[in-house]
Chains A and B, each alone.
Chain A
Amino acid sequence: MSDAPGPDPKDLAAFAEDADAWFRENVEPDPGFMLPLTFMEVGTDQQFDFLQNWQRRVYEAGYLGASWPKAYGGGGLHPDFQAAATRAMRRANGPIMLNAIGLNWTGPLLLDLGSEAHRHAYLKGILSAEDIWCQGFSEPDHGSDLGSAQTRAVRDGDHYIVNGSKIWTTLGRYARYMILLARTNPDAPRKYDGLSFFLAPMKAGGVETTPIRKLTGEHGFTQTFFNDARIPASGRIGEEGDGWKVAMRTLEYERGARGGQAGGYVSVQADAWDVVRLAERSTRAGRPALEDPVIRERMVDFIIEIQSLSLCRDRLSVSPLNAERPSGLPLSSKLMQTEFARRINEFAVTLTGARGAYYVGDPNAVDDGIWARAYLNAFSATIGGGTSQIQHNIIAEHVLGLPKG
């Protein structure tokens, strides 16, 4: 992955120090409007422009893609350098990286399975946020059952002609490219074998997006329509019929079960300590809510749980403790983290008491209504990327060896 030798601890320390200083200097404490907590939340042009600019600056400073090869626009350093930069970003509470689908799954996929031409054409634009990527997997009638996707791609010389529709396309309005799962052979004996995987242009004739309004009332993702859209055959990854395998691989990058991501983070973790401070500020009958024994016990539950998440991350690298079920923790982490985020934000809303009735925009809303909005937005992660129910099935079948339903 990296074209650099192992790191010299002195170089690494100096790099980390520079990174800390850079983020301290460059993170704006308050841009004057609400920043998204996850890349799936980007809803306004103001947010988009800010985050695109922010990602470009981080990249140009050398703190994103630091471990991708130099030849494709990366920093060519050992992965430890990028890890140090990401830590510095976190310490300074930097905003999220916008181009998540490019940085975390398209990029590693191209580094592993793409051609030289793909890497030269796409990787730099992914890092600089010049080229935003989206993901065209889900369809209106096929979400969890992704293997049944019906969007058609028919070969026509150097191109494929695509017809059909994708939905819940995060960043669909802004994207220049899509990773697209489409059916090239409707007659394959197994539904999975009829799919192919493409790097598809979004700004092409016959591709249209319409915005979808989220449960928060804001605009987030889109539905994407293909009407005889022509996409170059050179953008196919793998052979015709390999699409399912490639798509599953991108999900492994997405879930962090496979490495190669560009670095940074694409969502901000809910923090139990922020909620502790909220409970101190909130009141019940004139006293801080944190004095209520029931609230105290639930607060402790959340602190224990956030500590679980952090310890389970530490444990990933302690192989003797994962010997009996090596895939257990990696395959469980999405479920653990996303359900935690949903529940702690829900709890935070209840802490605000009577003022929990206010929403973003009202002067009486606690903290401008961020808790309610964060709670509603938390479902993006318990549904997107495979629902929590599907995660249960995956853990049951792939970790615990239970039969398919």
Chain B
Amino acid sequence: MQNLGRLGFSEEQADLLDVAANFCAQRSPVQRVRALMTDELGHDPGVWRETVDLGWLGVAIPEAYGGVGLSLAEVVPIAEQMGRRLLTVPFVSSTLAAQALLKGASEDQKQRILPLIVSGSPATLALAEAESDWDLEAIASTAMRLPDGGLTLSGVKRLTVDAHVAERIITSVMLDGSPALVIVDAADIPAAARRRETIIDETRRSFEIDLTGVPVAGANLMPQELARHALHHIHLAANLLTAAEMCGGAQAVIDTTLDYLKTRKQFGQLIGSYQALKHPIVDAYVRYEQARSHLYSAAHNFSDQGAGEIATRMAKAEADAAFSFASDRAIQFHGGFGFTYDCDAQLYRRRAIWSAAQHGDATYHKRRLAELLLPAP
């Protein structure tokens, strides 16, 4: 039998969970979320500043690069609480860009850029393409070497989160026939090369970027021999943090639905007394608690070679199942109001679909888990 890992929880995680729960609840009430949905920027720069001042951008970055020196396990409670309150600052995108640098950059690149991220310079990853689905190594974009040692890029990246504020964008290209990661200065991307995408989750900002002709200085090519390893790490880290956001979202949508079941009356009774609503909401709740146990197991085991990948894929698969079910039932259990734009159920249902589409949904991860857990056919 395989070692699937046990659950563990550190004092630092407990502290961060506590602080993040309060902070996100206060800074991101749902009226505020709705106001920001129609705002071009899509987040509150003051809240971003506070996030930076709390030191959260440096949580998983070693002290040598200006960080706090903890790990992604401690980022999980923050991402969870942000997901719960639909709080959108470029925190997860910048954290993942930092992870790409930690695993795939040269010492010089890490020294140069990680401290900037810690102090609030947003960064993001541009990895997805038209044909790539969730395979980060299926890359069609290319880089060509220039005589001066620099590169010039071509290709189109999609679903690049927070590209409107990121000062650095780490993107994947084929170079000399194999994958490479490069650090692009956002200033080198012409405004016309960036198109804001219409995405199902209106709280987020996501962009298509045409890389054609974008220059990259030689110093910004990340060591190519680390690229595959870095891409694998990014895939898992992104799934871990997305699973965290999804667990938070599942909790919130269950709470929102419960509020309605405890106030809305039909046939002279609170609708929450009807078992046709009561029992499925219990199923949603139990599913959520199980997903949350998987989440904190994945956080705890993340750095372990074998158990970490298994636990992370399980966490994402379960978070998807739990959040999708809870938010689907949330619409139904609000009746006609559930069908309206004003009902918050849609915010969570749309978020759940968005998050499932990030780096692999439940079916995808279960297929990978079959390979990891069961004898090969």
* Chain A residues engaging chain B, CB cutoff 8 angstroms: 273, 276, 280, 288, 290-291, 293, 296-297, 299-301, 303-305, 307-308, 310-312, 314-315, 318, 320-321, 328-329, 332, 335-336, 389, 392-393, 395-396, 399-405
Contacts and interface: CB of A to CB of B under 8 A. Distances in A.
B9 A402 contact: no
Nearest to A311: B293
B296 A402 contact: no
Given A300-B366, A399-B285, A405-B278, A315 B374 contact: no
Contacts of B290: 305, 308, 311-312, 336
Interface string B338-377: 0000000000000000000000000100110110011101
Contact of B282 (A280, A305, A310, A395): A395
Given A303-B373, A314-B6, A332 B289 contact: yes
A307 B272 contact: no
Interface in B1-34: 1, 4, 6-9, 13-14, 17-18
Contacts of B297: 307, 311, 314
Interface residues of B, number: 45
A1 B177 CA distance: 69
Shortest beta-carbon contacts, A-B, top 6: A311-B293, A291-B377, A314-B7, A308-B290, A402-B272, A320-B14
Interface string B262-289: 1000000110111100110111011001
Most chain B CB atoms below 10 A, which of A311, A332, A392? A311
A14 to B, nearest CB: 24
B6 A405 contact: no
Contacts of B292: 321
Contacts of A400: 258, 281-282, 285
Contacts, number: 125
A279 to B, nearest CB: 8
Nearest to B251: A324
A401 B258 contact: yes
B370 A311 contact: no
Given A332-B289, A401-B262, 13 more contacts: A300-B369, A304-B317, A308-B294, A308-B318, A310-B4, A311-B7, A314-B7, A314-B8, A320-B18, A329-B289, A396-B279, A402-B272, A403-B273
B296 A403 contact: no
B274 A405 contact: yes
Interface of B is mostly: helix
A314 B294 CA distance: 11
Contacts of A404: 273
B375 A304 contact: no
A197 to B, nearest CB: 29
A309 to B, nearest CB: 8
B282 A290 contact: no
B323 to A, nearest CB: 15
A286 to B, nearest CB: 14
A367 B305 CA distance: 36
Interface in B285-343: 285-286, 289-290, 292-294, 296-297, 314, 317-318
A312 B9 CA distance: 13
A297 B370 contact: yes
Given A315-B293, A332-B289, A276 B374 contact: yes
Contact of A402 (B273, B318, B367, B375): B273
A401 B4 CA distance: 34
Given A280-B375, A311-B6, A393 B275 contact: yes
Contacts of B278: 392-393, 396, 402, 405
B184 interface: no
Contacts of B258: 400-402
A328 B314 CA distance: 22
Interface in B130-164: none
Contacts of A399: 285
B366 A301 contact: yes
Contact of A299 (B8, B269, B367, B374): B374
Contacts of B317: 304
B286 A315 contact: no
A305 B286 CA distance: 12
A303 B366 CA distance: 10
Given A328-B285, A328-B289, A315 B7 contact: yes
A321 B282 contact: no
Nearest to B257: A400
21 contacts: A296-B370, A297-B363, A299-B374, A303-B369, A303-B373, A305-B290, A310-B4, A311-B7, A311-B290, A311-B297, A320-B18, A328-B289, A332-B285, A392-B283, A393-B275, A395-B282, A396-B282, A400-B281, A402-B258, A402-B270, A404-B273
B314 A304 contact: yes
Contacts of B9: 318, 320-321
B294 A297 contact: no
A395 B285 contact: yes
A395 B281 CA distance: 10
A402 B261 contact: yes
B294 A311 contact: yes
Contacts of A318: 7, 9, 296
A340 to B, nearest CB: 10
